[in-house]
Structure 1
Amino acid sequence: MPPTSRSSYSGFTLIEILIVMLIISLLAGVGSRALSQWQQRQQVKANASDLAYFLNRLRQQATWYHTTIALAAETQGEVTYLVAKSESRTGFVQRWVWKPLSPNVRIIAIQGEPSFYGKRGTAWPGSIEVGNQLVQWRIIVSAQGRIRYCQRQEEECG
């Protein structure tokens, strides 16, 4: 049986391999930037969720002990903390502190004077904004003591 003729040029050229590697590196660069932005958005959302949970616990504490809990921001160095203090009852003041879970997330603003009252679970309305350079979330405390959070850019966030 005679041998079949095969081309001696089977495979890829160096130029073809370099072009494919260039395309892969460009896609990887775009993908890593998108992944980084997604991670930053998720960090802010996790912080907003954690802060809403913290505020719900404060509301429960105020209702359970029939006391007033006021919120304020305190700055130490470059980090801003949310500090909650109960009213003085028999000379004893309780203090709770919330700080952002991620170092690149910070408390941007506190609007109003959000506080919780022990009677009927009511509150002094206000909002707290947390975020970074990419996205911001607002945690809203209503006069009825309800707490919700939404992205700052959404229209219904108010």
Structure 2
Amino acid sequence: MQQKGFSLFELLIVVVISSVMFTIAIVNWREFQLRSELTNTTLALVTFLNQVKSNANFQNRNNAIYIIKEEDQPWRLIVIDNEQNDHDQIFFQFINANNQVEILKKNNDLLSIFHGRRCMAQPETIKLKNDIGESRIIISTRGRIRYCAYAMQLAGFPKC
């Protein structure tokens, strides 16, 4: 007797193999998404800090960076003139687009100061973290801004 089509056992094997592959793909996709969010936030913050440093050097002023954390809001960084210390006059602002990525600092903390007159900065290490791992942004005394991946592998990031 000739049969056309697939047997129930063959279909069951295909469904099991497909579900295993789908489960692996979902886990890897979530990991890829978290790595991408951490990478993008770190690089965006490095770009922002370079902009603040360039502005401090160009305007010849001291730009102070503060972190603001409000309830039910993503964290953000504000830049003010350190000599005037007026939190209402904000020059620049960085708003975190990803709620998954957290900055490991207290609220209303002074993050760093870029001294435009001397092309220097207050040394600081900024730690960004999500469920997949942690990245760090290092600001040196000479105003050099570097970034690295801590205890994990991120594409294009050196290890800390």
Q: TM-score, normalised by structure 1?
A: 0.83
Query: What code does the residue aligned with 1:83 have?
Result: I
CA distance in 1, matches of 2:93, 2:131: 24
Query: What code does the residue aligned with 2:77 have?
Result: L
Return the offset for 1:147: 0.6
Determine if contact 2:101/2:129 at 8 Å carries over to the other structure.
yes
The answer to whether the aligner puts 1:99 opposite 2:95 as a matched pair is yes
CA distance in 2, matches of 1:99, 1:106: 12
Determine if contact 2:31/2:132 at 8 Å carries over to the other structure.
yes
Return the offset for 1:59: 0.3
CA distance in 1, matches of 2:64, 2:52: 10
The answer to whether the aligner puts 1:85 opposite 2:80 as a matched pair is yes
Among candidates 19, 24, 32, match of residue 25 of structure 1:
19
Q: Alignment partner of 1:31: what SS?
A: helix
Give the aligned CA root-mean-square deviation in angstroms.
Answer: 2.5
The answer to which of 39-48 and 122-131 deviates more is: 122-131
Alignment gaps of 5+ in structure 2: 153-157
1:32-70 deviation per Cα after TM superposition (whole angstroms, max 9, x unaligned): 111111111101110000000000000001000110011
Q: Which residue of 2 aligns with 1:108?
A: 104
1:85-112 deviation per Cα after TM superposition (whole angstroms, max 9, x unaligned): 11346x8944322121212112123798
Determine if contact 1:85/1:93 at 8 Å carries over to the other structure.
yes
Determine if contact 2:139/2:145 at 8 Å carries over to the other structure.
yes
The answer to which of 63-72 and 53-62 deviates more is: 63-72
Determine if contact 2:48/2:94 at 8 Å carries over to the other structure.
yes
CA distance in 2, matches of 1:42, 1:148: 18
Query: What code does the residue aligned with 1:75 have?
Result: K
More strand by share: 1
Q: Alignment partner of 2:40: what SS?
A: helix
Q: How many residues align?
A: 150
Q: TM-score, normalised by structure 2?
A: 0.82
Return the offset for 1:113: 4.7
Query: What code does the residue aligned with 2:144 have?
Result: R
The answer to which of 76-85 and 118-127 deviates more is: 76-85
For the pair shown, which has the larger CA radius of gyration, 1 or 2? 1
